[in-house]
């Protein structure tokens, strides 16, 4: 979840930079023909999306979180099972170690040490694999939202789409009329529902 929030921060920075570049490349307008300063703009050029709400309501994110959570639970159960089996072997060895010869004890202890090392390596690999998968899923999520937001902004004529989150408040206040979260969530969910079919 924290990585997802940081991805939304990256999205805001990317969109802000792109908007800045676009603004710098716009031809200068003649100030004599411009509308008076008191005129109200017809349409907002800057809007924001509440990423907390987006993540809570975006079905793709919910499904992704469930998949990752299920894989994490399965990996944890597998590790626990392997750990308990190893522990039973250790207990069995401890019960019979006094009846074994020195060579048999040494061989058994070496075997148990190798098994313990293998178990630790397996645990580290499983953890790394889950982290890599989570990073990959977060990148997919970021790309989906960034691509959608780019097309959405172009369609609506927005020059800048910011993100707001309580965990990472880059926007301290935004007029509710600039909040496009509900429309973005609705359309993202519609697109995801089509993708699932």
Q: What is the mean pLDDT of residues 25-32?
A: 40
Its CATH architecture, for the domain 2-20+43-196, is: 2-Layer Sandwich (3.30)
Mean pLDDT of the region 146-168: 91
Render pLDDT for 112-143 as a digit per residue (tens, 0 to 9).
999 999 999 999 999 999 999 999 999 999 99
Task: Name which of 22-36, 96-110, 183-197 the model is least confident about.
Answer: 22-36
> Which of 90, 162, 160 has its CA nearest to residue 119?
90
Segment 142-156 mean pLDDT: 93
Where do the domains of the chain lie?
2-20+43-196
Encoding tokens for residue 7?
């991805």
The average confidence (pLDDT) of the chain is: 81
pLDDT (0 to 100) of residue 90 = 94
C-beta separation of 49 from 174 below 8 A: no
């Amino acid at each position: 979840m924290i990585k997802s929030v940081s991805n939304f921060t990256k999205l805001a920075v990317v969109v802000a930079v792109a908007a800045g570049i676009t603004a710098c490349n716009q031809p200068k307008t003649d100030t004599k023909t411009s509308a008076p300063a008191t005129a109200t703009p017809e349409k907002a050029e800057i809007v924001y999306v509440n990423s907390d709400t987006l993540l809570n309501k975006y079905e793709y994110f919910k499904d992704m979180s469930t998949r990752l959570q299920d894989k994490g639970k399965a990996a944890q159960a597998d590790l626990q099972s392997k750990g308990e089996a190893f522990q039973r072997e250790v207990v069995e060895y401890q019960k019979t170690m006094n009846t074994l010869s020195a060579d048999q004890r040494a061989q058994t202890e070496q075997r148990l040490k190798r098994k313990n090392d293998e178990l630790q390596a397996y645990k580290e690999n499983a953890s790394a694999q889950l982290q890599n998968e989570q990073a990959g899923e977060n990148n997919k999520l970021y790309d989906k939202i960034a691509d959608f937001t780019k097309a959405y902004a172009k369609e609506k004529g927005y020059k800048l789409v910011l993100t707001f989150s309580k965990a990472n408040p880059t926007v301290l206040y935004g007029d509710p009329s600039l909040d496009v979260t509900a429309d973005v969530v609705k359309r993202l969910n519609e697109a995801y529902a089509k993708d699932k079919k």
